[in-house]
Amino acid sequence: MKPTQQQLEEFEAQGFLVVRGALADADLDPVIEEYEAHIDRRARQLQAEGKISELHAGAPFDQRLALICRQCNEIYPELDIMRLRGRASFAFLGNDNLLDMVEAFVGPEITCSPIQHIRPKLPGGLAPRGADPHVAPWHQDAGVTWEDADPVFILTVWLPLSPARPENGCLQIIPRTHGTGVLAHVIRAGQGTVIVDEQMPDAEPLTLPMDKGDVLLLHKEIPHRSTSNRSDTVRWSMDLRYQPTGTPTGRPFHPEFVVRSRANPDSVLTEWSVWDRLWAEAQAKAAVDKPRGHRWKSVPAR
């Protein structure tokens, strides 16, 4: 779905655009089914190993993982997109309905950034210690790249796979605050990469409840956060980033790929197995090299 001129102007002015019902079930269900199949297979293994007593096979997508994790949360760290690396998830990165929207902002030569996630945000306290609980303090996505990407237009695309609500930790943003460049952040122990207090814009946050099919397009200088999940459902979401081909992603140690090209269609990566291998190799190398993800200094918890 191509955005209208009015929607493009709204993004320019507000620094974000929510397109309601932009994607159909046919776009998203293959990803959901891929995750359901993985969770089902792993639940059966956990049951065979005596780690869970119930499969919760009839539970809806936004509840089953939480019900399983209440007994054993071993599945949880396997689920982000670069860990599970499913075929349907890869195919979705190149979804035409999504890219038609992205192209209006990024142009016809589009690279898919490796800064991408599928996040099952569990009810508070259920995620294993040390795993990402998908609770993000106030930050700009401009703050999660290396400096080389600072001049680059990188579009964040955030979309829920199940209802995202204030009580399960939907996104909050501070509209109309783009144009600042990169604000100073710190890496705060126990919290993550967060804008320093002095640079936090003094403006009212906007809470963004969203449903499956809705898509948020976000300028990389808009501060945003999400709080913990106080419900008993799982807030399933994807966040992806797209940018003009040939520009640095700010994550050189993870694999980017050309996802659409009008000038050179042969350059588009359509082979799932190549994407799968690139991630596997990058993770093996990063485990040894331990590259810095973010540029900021670490500070203690407060």
Which residues are near ligand AKG by CB under 6 A? 119, 134, 136, 141, 156, 158, 224, 226, 237, 239
| Binding partner of residue 237 among Fe ion, ligand AKG, none, CB cut-off 5 to 8 Å per kind | ligand AKG
Among the candidate windows 37-45, 73-81, 136-144, 194-202, which touches Fe ion by CB under 5 A? 136-144
Amino acid at 273: S
Smallest separation (angstroms) from ligand AKG to the CB of 220: 9
Does 251 contact Fe ion by CB under 5 A?
A: no
**Residue 101 or 136 with smaller CB distance to Fe ion:** 136
| Binding partner of residue 296 among Fe ion, ligand AKG, none, CB cut-off 5 to 8 Å per kind | none
Smallest separation (angstroms) from Fe ion to the CB of 5: 27
Encode 122-134: b = buried (16+ Cβ within 10 Å), e = exposed: bbeebbeeeeebb
Smallest separation (angstroms) from ligand AKG to the CB of 223: 10
For residue 43, give both structure tokens. 């639940």
For residue 147, give both structure tokens. 């400096």
Listed residue (157, 161, 78) closest to 112, CA to CA: 157
**Contact in structure between 172 and 206 (CB atoms under 8 Å):** yes
Candidates 109, 141, 214, 256; binder of Fe ion (CB under 5 A) is: 141
**Residue 56 or 121 with smaller CB distance to ligand AKG:** 121
Query: Rounded distance, CA 61 to CA 84, Å?
Result: 17
Smallest separation (angstroms) from Fe ion to the CB of 141: 5
**What are φ and ψ of residue 148, in 5° steps?**
-60, -20
Smallest separation (angstroms) from ligand AKG to the CB of 239: 3
**What are φ and ψ of residue 228, in 5° steps?**
-75, 165
Does 256 contact Fe ion by CB under 5 A?
A: no
Angstrom CA distances, 42 to 49, 123, 235, stand at: 10, 20, 20
Binding region for Fe ion (CB under 5 A): 141
